[in-house]
């Protein structure tokens, strides 16, 4: 006999169903059964729950815009600060008994695992090496920790034993896999084995790993992007599935191999079981557009535009500076609208499908945009009156998502855009509008985004992680194809949305999480650099045709922590 997982108002019976062929569940609305635990307008990442469900630990930038670790006591409903800001403390995981919190920190100018005693406040290092650790998690009995470490895309899972009373390391970190590669995060099962996320190509998979024998067992069949799994005491798996609809939590039957059940599905990420599997804790990252800022780059004047409704992540100012095209979000649908700056008049772009990410053609008569088609985002162009809609490239038959702003060539004949082509990978494309031909500009394992044509039309500038170790750099590549050259050297500062003027001036948006700042930056051809304003929440940047006015959409991120009650009963399944 095996136990089956029961969600309120939804019974899962496995009697007579083999684990590899579990049948779909009846559809039910579990979203309405979830309850909000806590919300943080400055949340910076994932949370972790104690075994009894009382304590939630998370990172937050609420102090000075710099990440630190905070503890939420659900019994009294208050947050308590555990670490000071300024060290990049993040990715906390609380021990099952709530005694210790292990987290990632950049102290001593390197990334290591640290821990804090939640009672005494004592903080101490668990690792001191050159490897970049991330994603720590505790075993169900609190006697071991697993984390991910090693060079980018040559990583492994490591486990070590830890004292439950003093937090002392009882064994050196030992690799769980006999190989290194593209690996994500792990969690312990009740039997001490690991369930982990690995990825290769266009999908991520779950594997079970015995950290002692290093034996692996593949759990999923591929075709999905699985991430951050956890296992209930009865063996059921909750996992984040990332796709065109964002991050969804789905379930897999105990001991099975294959695809997750189609329902229930919960909007959220990083599921964790608490209260012996009777509660599921997860979080949602909510990004809300709150306004648009116009910056006069000559006199420094700032004008705030606040269109009605919830704004999407992107907006664009027309070449003549009179109109703004922006994205409004209503439920699961988004639409592009036009706003006249002079009098505030606002009207929709007449396109039937869900649209976002507008970008103006140089003649001001057409827009490039992302369009939702058959479950995928496609790259399209349309007249400003809604006529002449034309799809240039879509993701049908692939996992590609063309869900980002595009850039027009100065002559209006070509369009450069990016697409997510694999986990942590994105390529750049150029479409020739007269012929409709689309070709790759980059085709590799890096993450390239935000392409913009140079003023002379000869190059495309973009952000890329090709510096390695997930660093951010700015590059330029010939529009005809070839080798990319460095404009701004890669490092840990997030630099995005570059633009290259005819005189060699480079513009970009720069965010420093440790300093809690976001700037519009200009670097002249002679290397002199100036930062314009501090613009928290700036999510993009584009300028008028003469380059004198910049438009920056401003977004606000909120992290919400949710609880879904669950219960358990006995069921059975065939061997």
Q: Which is more confidently placed, 452 or 234?
A: 452
Q: How far apart are CA 566 and CA 279, in angstroms?
A: 5
Is 15 a residue whose pLDDT tops 50? no
Domain locations in the chain as residue ranges: 311-396, 406-547
Query: Tens digit of pLDDT for each residue in 427-476?
Result: 999 999 999 999 999 998 889 999 999 999 999 999 999 887 678 899 99
Is 483 a residue whose pLDDT tops 80? yes
Q: How far apart are CA 135 and CA 147, in angstroms?
A: 5
| Number of helices (H), then strands (E), in the chain | 0, 49
Q: Where are the beta strands (DSSP E) in 76-223?
A: 78-81, 90-94, 100-105, 112-117, 123-125, 134-138, 144-149, 156-161, 174-175, 183-188, 194-200, 203-209, 216-218
Is 570 a residue whose pLDDT tops 50? no
Q: Count Cβ atoms within 10 A of the Cβ of residue 533 and give its class: 0-12 exposed, 13-18 middle, 19 or more buried.
A: middle
Q: Which is more confidently placed, 444 or 69?
A: 69
Q: How far apart are CA 423 and CA 132, in angstroms?
A: 19
Q: How far apart are CA 337 and CA 158, in angstroms?
A: 50
Rg (CA), the chain: 25
| pLDDT value, residue 285 | 87
| pLDDT value, residue 175 | 95
Q: How far apart are CA 354 and CA 284, in angstroms?
A: 22
Q: How far apart are CA 232 and CA 558, in angstroms?
A: 28
**Mean local confidence (pLDDT), 374-390:** 92
| pLDDT value, residue 2 | 32
Is 242 a residue whose pLDDT tops 90? no
pLDDT band at 166 (very low <50, low <70, confident <90, very high): confident
Angle value at C-alpha 162, between 180 and 121, nearest 5 degrees: 115
Q: Which residues of 39-69 are buried (b: 16+ CB within 10 A; e: fewer)?
A: ebebbbbbbbbbbebbbbbbbbbbeebbbbb
Query: Tens digit of pLDDT for each residue in 492-518?
Result: 788 999 999 999 999 999 987 555 678
Is 14 a residue whose pLDDT tops 50? no
Q: How far apart are CA 11 and CA 9, in angstroms?
A: 7
pLDDT band at 569 (very low <50, low <70, confident <90, very high): very low
Is 16 a residue whose pLDDT tops 60? no
Residue 252 near residue 237, CB atoms below 8 Å: yes
31: helix, strand or coil? helix
Percent of the chain with pLDDT over 70: 90
Class of domain 406-547 as given by CATH:
mainly beta
Query: Tens digit of pLDDT for each residue in 27-41?
Result: 356 767 899 999 988
| pLDDT value, residue 471 | 83
**Mean local confidence (pLDDT), 317-322:** 97
Residue 389 near residue 366, CB atoms below 8 Å: no
Residues 6+ apart with CB under 8 A from 388: 366, 381, 382
| pLDDT value, residue 561 | 94
Residue 364 near residue 320, CB atoms below 8 Å: yes
| pLDDT value, residue 515 | 53
DSSP code of residue 505: -
Q: Could you tell me the CA-to-CA distances from 126 to 71, 123, 281 in Å, in that order?
A: 20, 10, 27
pTM above 0.85, yes or no: no
Instruction: Give the closest residue to 5 by CA, choosing from 229, 210, 280, 219.
Output: 280
Is 288 a residue whose pLDDT tops 80? no
Residues 6+ apart with CB under 8 A from 231: 187, 188, 189, 190, 195, 237, 238, 273
| pLDDT value, residue 168 | 85
Q: Could you tell me the CA-to-CA distances from 562 to 13, 47, 553, 565 in Å, in that order?
A: 26, 10, 28, 10
Query: Tens digit of pLDDT for each residue in 113-136?
Result: 999 999 999 999 999 887 789 999
Q: Which is more confidently placed, 529 or 8?
A: 529
Can you spell out the DSSP letters for 210-234?
Answer: -TTT--EEE---SSSBEEEEEE-TT
| Residues forming a β-bridge with 328 | 311, 335
pLDDT band at 203 (very low <50, low <70, confident <90, very high): low
Q: Please provide the average confidence, as pLDDT, over all residues in the chain.
A: 86
Task: Kindly state the tokens that stand for 92.
Answer: 């906390």
Q: Which is more confidently placed, 566 or 362?
A: 362
């Amino acid at each position: 006999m095996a136990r089956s997982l029961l969600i309120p108002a939804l019974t899962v019976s496995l009697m007579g169903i083999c684990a590899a062929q579990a049948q779909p569940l009846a559809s039910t609305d579990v979203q309405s059964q979830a309850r909000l635990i806590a919300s943080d307008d400055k949340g910076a990442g994932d949370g972790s729950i104690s075994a009894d469900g009382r304590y939630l630990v998370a990172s937050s930038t609420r102090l000075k815009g710099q990440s630190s670790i905070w503890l939420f006591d659900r019994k009294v409903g208050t947050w308590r600060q555990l670490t000071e800001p300024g060290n990049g403390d993040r990715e906390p995981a609380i021990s099952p008994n709530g005694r210790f919190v292990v987290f990632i920190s950049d102290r001593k100018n390197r990334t290591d695992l640290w821990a804090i005693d939640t009672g005494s406040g004592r903080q101490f290092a668990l690792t001191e090496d050159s490897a970049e650790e991330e994603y720590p998690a505790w075993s169900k009995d609190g006697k071991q920790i697993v984390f991910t470490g090693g060079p980018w895309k040559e990583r492994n899972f490591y486990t070590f034993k830890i004292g439950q009373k003093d937090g002392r390391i009882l064994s050196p970190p030992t690799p769980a896999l006999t190989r290194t590669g593209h690996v994500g995060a792990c969690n312990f099962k009740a039997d001490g084995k690991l369930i982990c996320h690995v990825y290769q190509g266009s999908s991520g998979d779950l594997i079970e790993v015995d950290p002692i024998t290093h034996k692996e067992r593949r759990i999923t069949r591929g075709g999905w992007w699985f991430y951050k799994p956890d296992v209930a005491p009865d063996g059921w798996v909750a996992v984040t599935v990332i796709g065109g609809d964002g991050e969804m939590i789905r379930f897999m039957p105990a001991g099975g191999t294959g695809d997750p059940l189609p329902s229930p599905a919960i909007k959220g990420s990083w599921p964790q079981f608490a209260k012996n599997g009777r509660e599921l804790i997860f979080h949602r990252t909510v990004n809300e557009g709150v306004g648009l800022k116009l910056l006069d780059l000559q006199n420094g004047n700032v004008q705030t535009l606040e269109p009605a409704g919830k704004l999407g992540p992107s907006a664009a100012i027309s070449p003549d500076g009179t109109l703004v095209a922006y994205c409004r979000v209503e439920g699961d649908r988004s639409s592009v609208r036009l706003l006249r700056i002079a009098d505030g008049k606002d009207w929709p772009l007449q396109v039937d499908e869900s649209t976002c990410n507008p970008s103006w053609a140089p003649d001001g008569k057409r827009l490039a945009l992302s369009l939702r088609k058959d479950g995928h985002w496609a790259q399209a162009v349309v007249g400003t009156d809604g006529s002449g809609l034309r799809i240039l490239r879509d993701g049908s038959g692939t996992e590609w998502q063309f869900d980002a702003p595009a850039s027009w060539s100065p002559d209006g004949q070509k369009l450069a855009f990016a697409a997510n082509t694999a986990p942590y990978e994105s390529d750049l494309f150029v479409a020739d509008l007269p012929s409709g031909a689309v070709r790759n500009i980059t085709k590799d394992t890096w993450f390239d985004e935000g392409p913009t044509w140079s003023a002379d039309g000869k190059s495309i500038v973009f952000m890329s992680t090709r510096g390695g170790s997930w660093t951010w750099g700015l590059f330029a590549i010939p529009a005809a194809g070839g080798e990319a050259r460095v404009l701004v050297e890669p490092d840990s500062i997030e630099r995005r949305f570059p633009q290259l003027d005819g005189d060699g001036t480079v513009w970009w948006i720069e965010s420093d999480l440790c300093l809690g700042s976001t700037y519009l930056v200009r670097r002249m051809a002679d290397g002199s650099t100036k930062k314009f304003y501090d613009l928290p929440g700036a999510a993009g940047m584009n300028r008028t045709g003469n380059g004198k006015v910049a438009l920056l959409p401003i977004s606000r991120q909120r992290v919400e922590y949710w609880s879904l009650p669950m219960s358990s009963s006995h069921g059975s399944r065939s061997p």
